[in-house]
Amino acid sequence: MALPSYTQGNPEKPLLSQCIGDAFDSTVARFPDREALVVRHQALRYTWQQLADAVDQHARALMALGVQPGDRLGIWAPNCAEWCITQFASAKVGAILVNINPAYRSSELDYALGQSGCRWVVCADAFKSSDYHAMLQGLVPGLACGQPGALACERFPELHGVISLAATPPAGFLAWQDLQARAAAVSREALAGRQAQLHCDDPINIQYTSGTTGFPKGATLSHSNILNNGYMVGESLGLTEHDRLVVPVPLYHCFGMVMANLGCMTHGSTLIYPSDAFDPLATLRAVAEERATALYGVPTMFIAELDHPQRGEFDLSSLRTGIMAGATCPIEVMRRVISEMHMAEVQIAYGMTETSPVSLQTGASDDLERRVTSVGRTQPRLENKVVDGDGNTVPRGEVGELCTRGYSVMLGYWNNPEATAESIDQDGWMHTGDLALMDEQGYVRIVGRSKDMIIRGGENIYPRELEEFFHTHPAVADVQVIGVPCSKYGEEIVAWVRLHPGQVASEEQLREWAKARIAHFKVPRYFRFVDAFPMTVTGKVQKFRMREISVEELSAR
């Protein structure tokens, strides 16, 4: 009889019982003169002691503004030194950092500020085509003529002011440099007293999930949630103070602020930000010139780096490890990362914002097959199970919904108890919405999202399986598979394909190639060749948008 699809990670691995600020201070005491943060696009470098000085100054300045434990502090900026400083400073004073997606426009910003009740917002002046100052001025009447800290806005009654990273921001904004000057009004002893009041189970971060329907939900995470998850990820990678991690992923997401910032902080490793947003050339250059030992990214980022025409110019031999996450990694991409980027110990991590984020991870000792065909096993001090539609644990080898329980599960969705109850059951299990199967050794394979499964003529088709299959075609660089409505079969399969530079393949060639290798009902009816997929700023493919585009195009035929 098959074992049930349930596993528990190492229950003996101790959790950190500190708050983030105290853990940060411990690392500074251990490695004061080692390099902590390199921000290449700002030409900034900090040792741990220098970073601590900047963090403490910012924390005292926030206290001078009147920021109290539990107040929400928004941050709306691309990757930069100030983002990192704000993250650690807010944790030291007990403010709940609200991560605002750099790609947000006015309506999304409006929702995030109002739903979270931000008291202050730290913002860049602009990013790509977005003028942050102008959008805030449009949303907050009186901002331009008010005094920072004395804002009175009926639309956002809890908002006191906006801190700008610009050297000379518009009237009404508090400049970052002017904020720092306020630190003199608060003593170091007062900051230490504030830190001592905090508890590791206090909420410290709100991250808005990018749902495909309805408004985003604010996953609320505690010190313990994210500090321990960053620590456990670093433990699996074997990080030490000698490691140097290149971070091309956005800080506003868990991948950046937890797996990178907190993972490195808990181990004394060096953080390297190559650019304000993902740039494959800047990433490759940072790895080579900084002699990085680790690199993070989602599969699409690694594909862009592998296919960059200048990749051969850079010595990547210093790389040892890293993480590929955010989406299931195509097997062929993982093989190339190991062989062509020297990342022999690269690992897959799986999770979601609501679980801080990682709940499953491969290990450095796992063989190649495990690392390219699964998302690993349950992290220490966590539990995972696979259940059917009635909530019963299925036997190993059967597909069902993946659920996670343990220290990493969020406190809940901010001011949304209904959504919280829908996601976390009475026994504390977080329902992921992902379809998975667990093998006899406890390794988990994600086969798709429950809502992404295609049912064609009564046959269940998992897009992930087809995507892995098409990645074995020599001309295919990346592929995404979706379903569209069909009156005859219920749904038909559409494959969006991006070819390798210089490669050519037609719809008919791919279809004939597939017919010879997979069951006929799995062969896509339609192919769409693209240069890029609709994506979020974190590098996640927006399948719902692809579905909308495909339906519109097919209906016009």
Mean pLDDT across the chain = 93
**How does pLDDT run across 309-318, given as a tens digit for each residue?**
999 999 999 9
What is the helix (H) or strand (E) element at residue 391, kind and residue range? Answer: none
Task: Out of 160-164, 350-354, 365-369, 375-379, pick the least confident.
Answer: 365-369
360 near 407, Cβ under 8 Å?
Answer: no
Alpha-carbon gap, residue 438 to 32, rounded angstroms: 44
Domain 45-198 class?
Answer: alpha beta
Question: Confidence band (pLDDT; 50, 70, 90) for 486?
Answer: confident
What's the pLDDT at 214? 58
Phi, psi of 410 (to 5 degrees): -55, 165
Higher pLDDT, 543 or 495: 495
Question: Is the pLDDT confidence value at 540 over 80?
Answer: no
Higher pLDDT, 210 or 431: 431
407's torsion region: left (phi>0), alpha (psi -120 to 50) or beta? alpha
Phi, psi of 39 (to 5 degrees): -115, 95
Higher pLDDT, 303 or 293: 293
Which tokens in the block code for residue 459? 């046959």
Indicate the domain borders of the chain: 45-198, 454-555
What's the pLDDT at 518? 83
- Strand 321-324 relative to strand 6-8: parallel, antiparallel, unpaired? unpaired
Question: Confidence band (pLDDT; 50, 70, 90) for 212?
Answer: very low
Question: Is the pLDDT confidence value at 503 over 70?
Answer: yes
Model confidence, pTM: 0.86
What's the pLDDT at 28? 98
Query: Inter-axis angle of helices 106-116 and 132-139, to 10 degrees?
Result: 60
**How does pLDDT run across 221-233, given as a tens digit for each residue?**
999 999 999 999 9
Phi, psi of 493 (to 5 degrees): -100, 135
Question: Is the pLDDT confidence value at 267 over 70?
Answer: yes
**How does pLDDT run across 101-133, given as a tens digit for each residue?**
888 888 889 999 999 999 999 999 999 888 999
Question: Is the pLDDT confidence value at 345 over 60?
Answer: yes
Task: Out of 221-235, 263-277, 445-459, pick the least confident.
Answer: 445-459
Higher pLDDT, 343 or 489: 343
Q: What would be the CATH architecture of the domain defined by 454-555?
A: 2-Layer Sandwich (3.30)
Question: Confidence band (pLDDT; 50, 70, 90) for 327?
Answer: low
Question: Residue 108 to residues 94, 95, 217, 400, 448: CA-CA distances in angstroms?
Answer: 25, 22, 12, 33, 28
What is the helix (H) or strand (E) element at residue 431, kind and residue range? Answer: strand 430-438
322 near 247, Cβ under 8 Å?
Answer: no
What's the pLDDT at 36? 99
Question: Is the pLDDT confidence value at 297 over 80?
Answer: yes
* Percent over 70 (pLDDT), the chain: 97
Q: How many CB atoms lie within 10 A of CB 76?
A: 27
228's torsion region: left (phi>0), alpha (psi -120 to 50) or beta? alpha
What's the pLDDT at 521? 81
Average confidence (pLDDT) over 386-411: 96
Angle, CA 492 vertex, CA 490 and CA 494 arms, to 5°: 155
Question: Confidence band (pLDDT; 50, 70, 90) for 55?
Answer: very high
